[in-house]
Chain A
Amino acid sequence: MPSNRSTRGWKDLEAVAGNGLLDRRAFLKGGPVLAAAITGYTLSDSAAAQQLADDPWSAAAGNPLPAYGVPSRFEKSVARTLSNPRGEPRTHHARTPHHLLNGTFTPNGLHFVISHSGPRISTRTGTAW
Chain B
Amino acid sequence: MIHGLVARPLVFTLDALMRYPMVSRMAFVECGGNSAPLFSKEPIEATVQAIHGLVSCAEWTGVMLSTLLEETGIDPKAKWLIAEGADSLALSRSVPMTKALDDAMIALYQNGERLMPGNGYPMRLLLPGWEGNINVKWLRRIKLVETPAMSYYEARTYAPILPNGKAYQFYFLQEVKSFITHPSAGLKLNGPGFYEISGLAYSGNGRISKVMVSADGGKSWAQAAMQEPVHAKAFARFRAPWRWDGGPAILQSRAWDEAGNVQPTRAQFIAERGETKTVPSVTGFPNQHYNGPTSWGIERNGEVKHVYA
| Chain A residues close to B by CB (< 8 Å) | 2, 10, 13, 15-28, 34, 37-38, 40-42, 80-81, 83, 92-121, 123, 127-129
Contacts and interface: CB of A to CB of B under 8 A. Distances in A.
Contacts of B197: 21
14 contacts: A13-B241, A16-B222, A21-B221, A21-B222, A22-B222, A27-B239, A81-B50, A99-B47, A99-B48, A102-B181, A105-B235, A114-B54, A117-B87, A121-B122
Given A10-B243, A27-B239, A17 B221 contact: yes
Q: Which are the 5 A-B pairs with shortest beta-carbon distances?
A: A95-B53, A41-B193, A106-B56, A19-B215, A113-B118
Contacts of B194: 34, 37-38, 41
Interface stretch (B12-20, B94-102, B162-170, B255-263): B12-20
B182 A99 contact: yes
A102 B59 contact: no
A120 B122 CA distance: 10
A23 B286 CA distance: 39
Contacts of A117: 87-89
Given A100-B49, A115-B137, A129-B14, 7 more contacts: A17-B215, A24-B225, A27-B225, A41-B191, A95-B50, A102-B198, A104-B200
Nearest to B85: A116
Contacts of A94: 118
B151 interface: no
B1 A128 contact: yes
With a 10 A CB-CB cut-off, give which of B49, B121, B122, B283 has the most chain A CB atoms.
B49
Nearest to A26: B241
Interface of B: 1, 11-14, 17, 26, 29, 31, 47-50, 52-59, 86-89, 91, 110-111, 113, 116-123, 132-133, 137-141, 179, 181-182, 184-187, 191-194, 197-198, 200, 213-216, 219-225, 227, 231, 234-237, 239-245, 247, 249, 283
A102 B182 contact: yes
Secondary structure dominating the interface of B: mixed
Nearest to B30: A112
Contacts of B213: 17, 21
B49 A98 contact: yes
B135 to A, nearest CB: 11
B235 A21 contact: no
Nearest to A109: B116
A7 to B, nearest CB: 12
B152 to A, nearest CB: 10
Contacts of A41: 191-194
B255 to A, nearest CB: 14
Nearest to B119: A111
A96 B55 contact: yes
Contacts of B236: 104
B118 A97 contact: no
B243 A18 contact: no
With a 10 A CB-CB cut-off, give which of A24, A99, A116 has the most chain B CB atoms.
A99
Contact of B1 (A98, A101, A105, A129): A129
A104 B234 contact: yes
Contact of B139 (A93, A103, A119, A129): A129
B128 to A, nearest CB: 15
Contacts of B113: 108
A81 B46 CA distance: 12
Given A13-B243, A112-B56, A128-B140, A119 B121 contact: yes
Given A24-B225, A81-B53, A94-B118, A108 B241 contact: no
